[in-house]
């Protein structure tokens, strides 16, 4: 059973995670911003696209400026190459190692009595058997439940922008650069204490019913290229649970700094990079565009002349 669950979640885990899910909604469009940034220096050009990790096929084709930036680039940079079978197998193995309890330990003897009762009530209300998930650690169960809800709403990592561009890059024989290692991403998810993981799981149970409303707002911000609105949504969600601040810092600020350093190693010498990372990495005071600007790049958010109307 653990292998079946791991296969169900592996692509989402590689695409980083539980924070940003986006719906597709109707939005008529005038000319405005896209969620693509251009960073230029004297001898380097970097395009950075905020990805929708989970979406529906109706999102394609993307805004022409996004496709043009990809086509003009030599290197595709992503968080992890989730189109690589070796990466998928490694993720599966690490997920089982870090996401499942060993021996006699399980959720029943790890969670507080109050949290366990809350979890069992949620499972009963949603038709999930406790026996099927009791060996999952809290962080892993949070991912599983969030993925399950996303699937119920119709959003799939297989249609996400990360995989879309990875498949295009493979067909176009572009160089693919992974900005992170699989075990680094898992360490963010699994590295918190048991107490913090329990708090995160309870937050997931409390907020999962708001997923559809929240992602609709995030999608509107993405389609409009409204970085400020998306940042506000993320911050409001982040501020709901101050106990998880160390997790969010590792998820965003720490990873942003490391990804920028990796980009700088490959950006010069005439290369053009097209970067696809989660949209949450492109907003806020320590976002990737801001960090590149601090490194001397001239950074601008690209215009999108055509707006797609979706469902």
Residue 30 has pLDDT above 80, yes or no: no
Angle at 149 between CA 137 and CA 29, to 5 degrees: 135
Sheet holding 175-178, edge to edge: 175-178, 75-78, 272-278, 44-51, 32-41, 298-304
Let me know if residue 217 belongs to a domain.
yes
Residue 101 has pLDDT above 80, yes or no: yes
The chain-wide mean pLDDT, for the chain, equals 85
Let me know if residue 311 belongs to a domain.
no
Let me know if residue 241 belongs to a domain.
yes
Domains identified in the chain, total number: 1
- Report the pLDDT value the prediction gives residue 306, as an integer from 0 to 100: 53
**Total-model pTM:** 0.84
Higher local confidence (pLDDT), 42 or 129? 129
Let me know if residue 262 belongs to a domain.
yes
Q: Which of 109-123, 132-146, 147-161 has the lowest mean pLDDT?
A: 147-161
Burial 133-153 (b: 16+ CB within 10 A, else e): bbbbbbbbbbbbbbbebbeee
Task: Tell how far CA 72 is from the center of its chain.
Answer: 25
Let me know if residue 309 belongs to a domain.
no
Quick: pLDDT tens for 152-183: 888 777 778 898 999 999 999 999 999 999 88
Residue 23 has pLDDT above 70, yes or no: no
Residue ranges making up the domain that contains 290: 2-304
With CA atoms as reference, report the closest residue to 176 among 301, 100, 73: 73
Let me know if residue 277 belongs to a domain.
yes
- Report the pLDDT value the prediction gives residue 280, as an integer from 0 to 100: 93
Let me know if residue 310 belongs to a domain.
no
Let me know if residue 111 belongs to a domain.
yes
- Report the pLDDT value the prediction gives residue 160, as an integer from 0 to 100: 83
Provide the pairing of β-strand 44-51 with 272-278: parallel
Q: Which of 75-89, 113-127, 287-301 has the lowest mean pLDDT?
A: 75-89
Q: Which of 179-183, 198-202, 252-256, 303-307 has the lowest mean pLDDT?
A: 303-307
């Amino acid at each position: 059973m653990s292998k079946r669950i791991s296969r169900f979640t592996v692509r989402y885990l590689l695409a980083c995670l539980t924070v940003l899910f986006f719906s597709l909604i109707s939005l008529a469009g005038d000319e405005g911003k896209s969620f693509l940034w251009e960073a230029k220096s004297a001898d380097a050009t970097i395009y950075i696209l905020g990805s929708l990790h989970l979406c529906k096929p109706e999102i394609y084709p993307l805004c022409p400026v996004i496709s043009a930036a990809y086509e003009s680039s030599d290197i595709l940079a992503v968080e992890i190459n989730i189109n690589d079978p070796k990466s998928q197998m490694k993720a599966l193995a690490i997920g089982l190692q870090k996401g499942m309890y060993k021996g006699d330990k399980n959720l029943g003897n790890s969670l507080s009595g109050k949290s366990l009762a809350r979890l069992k009530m949620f499972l009963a209300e949603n038709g999930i058997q406790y026996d099927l998930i009791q060996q999952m650690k809290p962080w892993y169960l949070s991912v599983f439940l969030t993925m399950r809800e996303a699937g119920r709403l119709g959003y799939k990592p297989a249609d996400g922008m990360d995989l879309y561009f990875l498949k295009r890059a493979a067909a176009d024989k572009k160089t693919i650069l992974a900005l992170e290692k699989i075990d680094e991403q898992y360490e963010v998810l699994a590295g918190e204490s048991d107490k913090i993981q329990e708090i995160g799981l309870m937050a997931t149970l409390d907020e999962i019913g708001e997923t559809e409303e929240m992602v609709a707002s995030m999608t509107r911000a993405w389609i409009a290229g409204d970085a400020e609105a998306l940042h506000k949504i993320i911050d409001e969600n982040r501020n709901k649970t101050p106990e998880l601040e160390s997790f969010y810092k590792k998820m965003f600020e720490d990873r942003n700094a490391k990804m920028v350093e990796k980009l700088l190693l490959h950006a010069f010498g005439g290369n053009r990079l097209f970067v696809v990372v989660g949209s949450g990495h492109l907003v806020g005071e320590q976002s990737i565009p801001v960090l590149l600007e601090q490194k001397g790049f001239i950074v601008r958010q690209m215009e999108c002349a055509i707006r797609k109307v979706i469902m």
